[in-house]
Structure 1
Amino acid sequence: MGLLAGAWLLWWQGIPFLFDWDELIYGSLARQMLESGDPLSLVINGEPFFEKPPLFFWLQALAMGALGVNEWAARLPNAWVGGVTVALVVAWGSHLRGVGFGCLWGLLLLTGYVPLFFAKTGLIDPLFNLGMGLGLGSLLGADQARLVGQSGRAWLVVGALALGLAVLAKGPLGLSLPLLIWAGYKVWHPDPWPRWGEVVAFLALAGGVALSWFALEWRQQGPEWVEQFLRYQWRILTTSDGHPGPFYFHLLAFGLGCFPWAALSLTGILRTLLGKDPGAGGGSRFRRPRFRLGSAAQVMDPCQRAEHLLLVAFGIVLLLFSLVVQTKLIHYTSLLYPMGAYFAALRLQSIWAGHCSSPTLAGSHQRDEVLSRLTLWESVWIGLSGLFWLSLWLVLPWLGGSQGEGLANLGIDLTDELAWGYLKAGVDWPLYTYGPALLLLGGGLAWSIGRHKVWGWVSLLLATGLSAQLAWGWVFPRLLQHTQGGSIHFFRQFVGGEEGSAGLLSGTVGLYGFRSFVPYFYGPLQVPYAAFPAELSAWERTGQMPDYLVTWDPFVEELAELGSLQAIEQRGPFWLLKTSPSFSVSP
């Protein structure tokens, strides 16, 4: 399953451009690391980068060393991480509830829209979540080992290493969040209480792995990097950092993004809490036998304990990022995806079991029939969220293919010149780009007929998985051509042309007006950036004025008033301008 998952994630993984900002920032850091040959420094555009530790960039640099500096290499680590993640959830699910359940859990992760898109990106979070999830699972494994009279120390070592690497992937949250979740779980299940010596050894090992990089940075560059890093972490926690949102943002993102199984997940969580689900309550045909410790009367159920840990983790992650962390970005709660997929698999298995079992085998057939039927709210939410995605896959090709004329035909007056620039980027949208919509429509119709049957859900999951892959390979590349294609085309001409051939333009290039990380991956390693005319004036006075400028529609008139410029080319809202020797800026 892990190998199949890795191959599934690799399919068309490198086709779309890296998106601005995050993917391009990380890919540019890895590129710079590879070019400099120094894995211990994080530099972008000649300036130190203080926001993230280096583990993920090391993996990207290794991939780029083997495959070259391209989108495939930048995203390759997450195909590997996704394969390992699916292998682990299939193994754990199989241990808890049987091989069928484990495979279903893994398949849901690979067919939900946002979880699949997320796993195909070049973001840090899949690796970060793998470290935290493995750490929590190992802590639970140590607990279960102690319950049957074993030491559990091997589990503790694995957990400490995993959490230490999670910190090296993204920061202190990689240790603090799992420990907060574990503390909440131990309030629910205080036995067996760990020995204090084991606690100290665990924290020392996890902290030693985590602090290794920070100690090297402190030694090489002094305390500045660590201070700036901690300031950034605090800013993300206490301010919106330019990404505000309502408190229900992450719940809504989960409910829409994890189509088609988000509604099943939330129902599975509620029914597990209340003990009403055939897959979670007493008398379940899916539960493993209970374990007793010696002659003690206390009953130990590893499946129930695992579900309690998942419930605590889901609740803490959702509450923390909804009510405490002010920055609202969709990938901040991506740890919810594997946990939500577990409860969705639990709910889906109970639906199938209620319609495939006989009274003789089930023993309580009428109860299973009632609990296995989709509720009204589940059906409505699945239908509405499906319509949302269907509309998206229809509207994007229509808007792009009509170059915005479709809006005018509908009487919609788009006054924003920048938006018009994006729409008129000259991107070809052939009819097959409606493929994701047609697949989803077919799967949705099949599900509407057989939503209580195995074949209905198999049709929908197959349709969502394939439509997501087609959207990744057909829709997203064209969408990024609209939003970034012109800028990428211009900067590529200074490092080797569109296809890596000889450079089409000689000279230096600068970026003016809009902030972008496109040049540092697709163009020269260092491209000066100016946000205001005063900075152009400083370039002029010091003799550092670039030969060319790449800018945006909103700033063209502003630049035209400042000096003599020659427009070389326009692509969408992006402009390539040549500066003349007489170019000057009034102070």
Structure 2
Amino acid sequence: MAEGDDQAMTLSRRALLALLLVFTLIWFADIEWRDLTHTDEGRYAEIPREMVASGDWLTPRLNGFRYFEKPPLHYWITAVFYELFGLHDWVARLWTELAGWLLVLLTGWVAWRLYGPAASWISALVLAANPYFYLVSHISVLDTGLALFMGLTLFAFLLAQKQSRPAARNRWMAVAWAAAAGALLTKGLVGIVLPGAVFVLYSLIRRDLAIWSRLWFWPGLALFLALAAPWFVLVSRANPDFAHFFFVHEHFERFLTRAHQRYEPWWWFLPFLLLALLPWLGQLAGLARAAWQRFLRPAADFDERLFLLLWIGFILLFFSASSSKLPHYIQPIMPALALFIGPWLAEHRPSLRGSALAGLIIALGGVAVLAFPRPEWAPFLPWWPWLGAAFGLLGLGSVGVYLLGGHGRRALLLHGLTWLLFPAIILAGSQQVAELRSARALVEPLRPVIRDAPFYSVDFYQQTVPWYLRRTVTLVGWRGELDFGIRHDPGRWLPDHAAFARHWRTEPDAWALIPRSSLPALQRLGLPMQVRAENRDFVIVSHPEASQP
């Protein structure tokens, strides 16, 4: 890009601060607005709550059972937040949303270091306006924290390769190794295997063996092990069966088999990748040509853009080949995608009119669908005004970008902010149908009455119930992901309705959460039950002798 063009796309410091303030307000606006939902948000709120309650920060527990599906870093950070700010929904979500916010800033800063000021804010805007990235960053799952540490690993490695002085390069590699330890402690082996595989692939494609000498390998490995290994050693000593379950069952069996019942076809992630690229549909052809040319004619020295493309492609293919798939798994490719798209936009300054027309078509299509709801959509109709507002905003913003000519800072800012607000409004509106996925309205009003009385969850484990009760419950007939913990502590679990009936008849202060589908079978047992609360899917009953609300 010519110097004049770069200056034309550069924002003043005041404009950057204003943009950061607006972005931050939008990003964190709904952190307490929405109830936590089943399954992930309830699970990842409850595990650190139990750490704080029990004082055991070594062995993660879910509903009182040992839970080794994931390492503890997300739990530790959230537990620290609980200690600082208390037990609130916004605190349970804080680390996930903060990690996404930090990634946007980090992406912009790295783009500034590599490509200059124009590419900096544009790259940050690309990531912030990514609908997929926004949605995953506002649901409490582990993948945004993983993306932060993997992104820091990637960015530190890229910056290290650009350093001419060994001391500066080694400092950045120290950051990369430390961040890889954070990724490992967030979600397991993928945090180190995926970056390592991309590095090997790049070395093979470029036939670059010299890059191995710039890894700061032995000191970096020592730092990595010093940070990551202690928890694995200590938890294995306290729980001898941890290693097999965590490394074999949760990694190799998850990838190679359908044991976790999350199998999807190979193309499963392509619609989610398309969701991430929706704001830039008009630029896809140019971006594809740029990517192809990068493979054909890479830079003579270290080519960070080729490395970014390999990062995106390999991680996407890895999870596509896995036998276990969930929508949020490809979150770690999003910072690399933004760091590839942002500088390209800054250098080529393409017209955004094509993307604006695509946004308008999406908006009109969304409004048309909302205008003719199907009968089975009836439970979601309270969400409709928010969805209509989101599509309306998208349409108006797209028209504005088109009228601005699709060029320049104003068009790009309006385009990015429109696509940032679009998923924000949709997700905020989901609170109108929260009871479909959250037990808050069902159980929280009863918490002062239930207190420490026996509480059973029959035939299902609604993951937000323990969080909103601020206590564990006794499971009846359901094992699911707690099977490992139940096998090691079967006395805290009831196998069937008959066992539940025996306990119920001897506990006059007992309460239970029961799916509506299971209620007739329990009624046929002649159990004394009084309905205290209900929604579409569940009823809460108590023994008639239990305390009245």
Global fold match (TM > 0.5) = yes
1:250, CA displacement in angstroms? 1.0
SS at match of 1:567: strand
What residue is the counterpart of 2:3 in the other structure?
A: none
| AA aligned opposite 1:512 | V
Alpha carbons of 1:577 and 1:391: their partners in 2 closer, same or farther (altered >3 Å)? farther
1:50 deviates by 0.9
Distance in 2, Cα, partners of 1:183 & 1:218: 30
Q: Which of 450, 463, 473 lines up with 1:517 in the alignment? A: 463
Shift of the alpha carbon at 1:227?
Answer: 2.0
Answering whether residue 102 of structure 2 is matched by residue 84 of structure 1, we say: yes
Q: Which moved more, 1:464-473 or 1:255-264?
A: 255-264
Check 1:163–1:191 CA distance in 2 against 1; reply closer, same or farther (3 A cut). Answer: same
Look up the match of 1:175. Answer: 192
Distance in 1, Cα, partners of 2:112 & 2:365: 34
Equivalent position of 1:156 in the other structure = 173
Matched to 2:424, the amino acid is: Q
TM-score w.r.t. the length of structure 2 is 0.82
Spell out, residue by residue over 1:521-571, the C-alpha distance to the aligned partner (whole angstroms, 9 max, x if none).
111421112237961212334567672222223222232223233333332
What is the letter of the counterpart of residue 76 of structure 1? L
Q: Which residue number corresponds to residue 207 of structure 1?
A: 225
Aligned identity (percent) is: 20
Distance in 2 (CA, whole Å) between partners of 1:97 and 1:151 is 19
Q: 1:103 Cα shift?
A: 0.6
- Aligned equivalent of 2:512: 549
> Could you say if the C-alpha distance between residues 150 and 348 of structure 1 is closer, same or farther in structure 2, counting changes exceeding 3 Å?
same
Alignment counterpart, residue 469 of structure 1, candidates 418, 424, 430: 424
Query: Aligned partners of 1:166 and 1:258: how far apart in 2?
Result: 25
CA distance in 1, matches of 2:525, 2:224: 56
Report the CA distance between 1:156 and its aligned residue.
Answer: 2.1
With normalisation by structure 1, the TM-score equals: 0.77
Residue equivalent to 1:251: 270
Structure 1 residues 275 and 212, CA gap change in structure 2 (3 angstroms) = closer
Instruction: Tell me which moved more, 264-273 or 251-260.
Output: 264-273
Paired residue secondary structure (1:510): strand
SS at match of 2:176: helix
Residue matched to 1:238: 256
Q: Radius of gyration: which is bigger?
A: 1
Instruction: Give the alignment's Cα RMSD to 1 decimal.
Output: 3.3
Q: Residues of 2 paired with 1:461 and 1:118: CA distance?
A: 18
Deviation of 1:309 after TM superposition, in Å, equals 1.0
After TM superposition, list the pairs within 5 Å mapping 1:119-518 onto structure 2: 119-145=137-163, 147=164, 152-189=169-206, 190=208, 192-195=210-213, 198-221=216-239, 223-230=240-247, 231-240=249-258, 241-261=260-280, 264=283, 267-274=286-293, 300=301, 305-322=303-320, 324-352=321-349, 372=350, 394=370, 407=374, 412=375, 414=376, 422=379, 431=385, 434-449=388-403, 452-454=406-408, 455-473=410-428, 475-481=429-435, 483-485=436-438, 487-496=439-448, 503=449, 507-518=453-464
Counterpart of 1:563 (choices 513, 526, 539) is 526
1:539 to 492, 500, 505: 500
- 1:572 and 2:536 correspond: yes
Partner AA of 1:325 in structure 2 = S
C-alpha change, 1:90 and 1:379, in structure 2 (3 Å) is closer
Q: Count residues with an aligned counterpart.
A: 505
Q: Is the 8 A contact 1:447 1:459 kept in 2?
A: yes
Structure-2 residue corresponding to 1:584 = none
Structure 2 portions without partners, runs of 5+: 1-15, 479-493
Q: Classify 1:265/1:13 alpha carbon distance in 2 versus 1 (closer, same or farther; 3 Å).
A: farther
Letter of the aligned partner of 1:571 in structure 2? N
> Deviation per CA, 1:57-114, whole angstroms, max 9, x where unpaired?
1111111122221111011123332333222211211122211111111012112222
Find the aligned partners of 1:197 and 1:348 in 2 and give their Cα distance.
31
Q: C-alpha deviations, 1:32-68, integer Å up to 9, x for none?
A: 1111222222111110011111111111111112222
Whether the 8 Å CA contact 2:181–2:227 is kept in 1: the answer is: yes
Counterpart in the other structure of 1:528? 474
Structure 1 residue 26 and structure 2 residue 24: aligned?
A: no
Cα offsets for 1:455-475 (capped at 9, x unmatched): 4443332222223322333x1
Distance in 2 between residues matched to 1:342 and 1:265, nearest whole Å = 15
Bigger share in helix: 2
**CA shift for structure 1 position 275:** 5.2
> Residue 343 and residue 384 in structure 1: after superposition, are their counterparts in 2 closer, same or farther (change >3 A)?
farther
